[in-house]
Structure 1
């Protein structure tokens, strides 16, 4: 893969590996936050002068790369030298981009930082066009010649996987002129997604409602989340739900047109590169069989009984005559314990001991060395993510608010951080970046470790119920819901590919048919029930992305079982395989990496294992709730 394309994939992963949460304001000024809870940017550059030097050096490296145009096929030395310069450039690119991006992340009101970030993005966009010649020229080197070069030139050793895999995708590489043309149009292909973002953020006008206590609130997504999570009055939750969804409902035709534009752009690109479908175009890069996607979608669609059983249990416990989708976030008990951050770090650190003391010690370094930005401050973006800087260390964003949900978010993001750390420590730059397809394995694995650890260390019935609910909601949100989204994407993309019409009514019907398979008649239908498709960002900004949350969850469930169950020898061998996975970066196709670790996603039983796990957790929750009643 062209290193610039790899970099843009990396930026996408950094942006998407996140958890959106409603955080409480803890500090009025960022300066008031103790240094140990803030990012240490000096690990990347000591000052802006050092940043500026690398920024300028990237342009010089680019000129050197251009000097190899027309010469890559002459000998292995030319190819190796060009790749060496390109690798040095990309190492700088990670640092140059993230030094600005991270500082902007915690101070989004700083227009000077925004200008610098735009400056970097423009530079990289220019490079994408300028390097369009590399892939077409490299593919002209005969495969037999490339194998000889890789075998005889040690400087090409680290690049072996990418260089030889290039020929598998040969039919999708275009001429230099066509590649350049595609680069030009790549800037336009994201326009529909940008329109969605503008319509859903900058131009959207949220409605105000009056709640039962007389308080008037404007129902933004954040306020809506707070109301449906904390307000015990069902009528208030209904008002908030109707106010929020009515905004999207009124713009349904605009959202349908935008989504049609997104898919048509995807389909145009897929056909230009000679793929049979948009899904093939998304999967073939990482050599993912289509059967894996379809196995996931079909298996889950036919096994939604545990989800419906959980909803019925909630309806009974909450004492509701009618149960709606907006009743799904209310706690089943009045448990609202606060978990101070330092205590949460201790709990998470203790929970990962089954992965070995070395892993635990590395995690301690991560939480005590300026890798984490912990608390919310004015101007800081919401949510949580972990993003690496090769040659430095990962940087992890939080907006910690003391809730149980955020304790799990801490464990989740530390899973990403440790995955990145182990990959970077054990892989050369050429293969350090792991794919999205395995990205959520380590994070969800750590969440399961945390659940078991906390369940073993509490006798508080309300906390046990909260923990089980947390885990159940995690499976439904990460596995079932994302598979439902994947099902929807596949059906709608297929319609566009077959030349069928797509409009708001059709999209709503597709959503409704799938929702009925998942929830049946256990939830009440409303005017807005089948319109969530209007407001799911992944559909518009990263099509065919969400299924990987589900496949990762299934993979981590299988790996967790292997590491924690069986004989001492079996667990030790399973842990070794899992650790190898975390250390392997992108040195092989992700399906092969998972198979080596003990997971085969092409088998329905791998998917069914998660479904059975949910079923057992719902039964366990029912037992705990019964104990509480007694």
Structure 2
């Protein structure tokens, strides 16, 4: 049975993120934001002067890094404070204030790229030779001149910086709606027991129940809330897509896909090759789904059967047990790595561990230069929760080690490589557990999590969403409307093709799956 979700006030402090390591309290955060806004004009004094001398250029970059790094810390604090409890109106206001501050900073620093291009590469190389502290910016110069033809004038770049906050409103509106406002109807299992349905327990607990009646009821209740708001959700996502089209045209790219991948220095062939490979191998997934259907004794399988347990006994892994097993599994990465992971999960409190009312659904890692890379979880003692924790620790350790070994200017690794460390950690843990834990039920649960959750997510769900994303963007580029029904039908068609002939298609609910993935607000992220 899925337990009721407590209010945040009932969560023990040792299982909450270490917010006081960033700011001692919200008042200190308020003062820092005010200082950042007051310091914004200081960067503008370098406008028109970047080509004066190596010393002036270094001073400008140091001011830029100081202002931006402080802004990122303040933004992270506000956004994480909101994410752990989206019903907290004070945190919602802080997030809005932080986003406004970031927009002002983006506008203030927008002159840098156009002006550096005017200074020219030969002079910048000369400055680097004159001032060794400028060597760390060489890669930034390389990347800037690679993008040269798509960088606009200082005036246009300033407007784009100013627009960053209102353009982000479509994501924030969706996040508020789905995390703070959605209230799901409680359900009953086959024995008549009442189960709560929340963003925190839907994926990790309810979809893994043995009781099919309860799984179906949970799925219907959960997806019906999204269907109820389909027009608002579709409008938010479609307008976010139009923002991407706008940027594509302003920066003179041939497509939104080309624009997104160009920033990461990746050819569009990489994306298309992945999709083509996925489509060629759909029969493998059809076979897997058929095996799962037969193992569950079903004539047809539904979306809510994808994570149904097959083993005879449900395997439970507490948070403390998971930390111990993860540390053992990551031992090949060395003592320093493992000791850091152990501190992260315990004394240093990088992890906001358990579900609470109003908590953003899913899991993610988020930090800033100079802070711990924090992790939002909704840990539920399930195998998938342990795997997710290992995954997010991969992200956080990637960030931690990058920040420890690189200057601020070189710490922003791309989304294309972001999933490498996280999935590697999961694979390392999985291999260790398969070799050391001999309990048959545990091994079955481990394999089912690997295939039915991890591989299903990254080798089936994400490529399917990438196909959806490409098609919706192409329609928007052609000026075609993106309505709720058109997006639902597109998603349903793609899943029908992917799941194969034995899938019991519920077109409206399955077709709304796109609305449950906030990843789609980060253009062309899901394919990576």
Q: 1:89 to 1:203 in 2, by over 3 A?
A: closer
Q: Which residue of 2 aligns with 1:385?
A: 364
Give SS of 1:386's match: strand
Q: Which residue of 2 aligns with 1:413?
A: 392
- With the length of structure 2 as denominator, give the TM-score of the two structures: 0.88
Indicate the RMSD between aligned Cα atoms, in angstroms: 3.2
Unaligned runs of 5+ in 2: none
Instruction: Say whether residues 1:164 and 2:138 are aligned partners.
Output: no
418, 439, 450: which one aligns with 1:439: 418
396, 404, 418: which one aligns with 1:425: 404
CA shift for structure 1 position 379: 5.8
Contact 1:262 1:540 in 2 (8 A): no
Q: 1:265 to 1:50 in 2, by over 3 A?
A: closer
CA shift for structure 1 position 34: 5.7
Q: Which residue of 2 aligns with 1:9?
A: none
- Alpha-carbon distance between aligned partners in 1 of 2:300 and 2:410, rounded to the nearest angstrom: 53
Q: 1:96 to 1:400 in 2, by over 3 A?
A: same
Q: Which residue of 2 aligns with 1:280?
A: 258
- Alpha-carbon distance between aligned partners in 2 of 1:404 and 1:142, rounded to the nearest angstrom: 55
Pairwise mapping of residues 597-616 of structure 1 onto structure 2 (< 5 A)?
Answer: none
- Alpha-carbon distance between aligned partners in 2 of 1:312 and 1:367, rounded to the nearest angstrom: 39
CA shift for structure 1 position 503: 4.0
Equivalent residue pairs, number: 526
480, 483, 498: which one aligns with 2:460: 480
Give SS of 1:309's match: helix
- Alpha-carbon distance between aligned partners in 2 of 1:511 and 1:301, rounded to the nearest angstrom: 15
Q: Which residue of 2 aligns with 1:85?
A: 63
117, 129, 132: which one aligns with 2:107: 129
Unaligned runs of 5+ in 1: 1-21, 549-630
- Alpha-carbon distance between aligned partners in 1 of 2:493 and 2:62, rounded to the nearest angstrom: 53
Q: Which residue of 2 aligns with 1:524?
A: 504
Q: 1:422 to 1:241 in 2, by over 3 A?
A: closer
CA shift for structure 1 position 466: 0.4
Contact 2:114 2:152 in 1 (8 A): yes
Contact 2:5 2:356 in 1 (8 A): yes
- Alpha-carbon distance between aligned partners in 1 of 2:346 and 2:464, rounded to the nearest angstrom: 39
- Alpha-carbon distance between aligned partners in 2 of 1:130 and 1:192, rounded to the nearest angstrom: 23
CA shift for structure 1 position 166: 0.7
Q: 1:224 to 1:343 in 2, by over 3 A?
A: closer
CA shift for structure 1 position 265: 2.6
Give CA-to-partner distance per residue, 1:377-421, whole Å, 9 cap, x none: 566555433222323432233333322221112211211121112
Deviates more, 1:516-525 or 1:256-265: 256-265
CA shift for structure 1 position 334: 3.5
Give CA-to-partner distance per residue, 1:151-189, whole Å, 9 cap, x none: 332121111111232111111111222223333444443
CA shift for structure 1 position 73: 2.1
89, 98, 105: which one aligns with 1:120: 98
Q: 1:61 to 1:464 in 2, by over 3 A?
A: same
Give CA-to-partner distance per residue, 1:300-342, whole Å, 9 cap, x none: 1110223222211111111112222222121002322332322
Q: 1:75 to 1:124 in 2, by over 3 A?
A: same
CA shift for structure 1 position 293: 0.6
Deviates more, 1:322-331 or 1:524-533: 524-533
Contact 2:363 2:376 in 1 (8 A): yes
241, 246, 250: which one aligns with 1:263: 241
- Alpha-carbon distance between aligned partners in 2 of 1:380 and 1:208, rounded to the nearest angstrom: 18
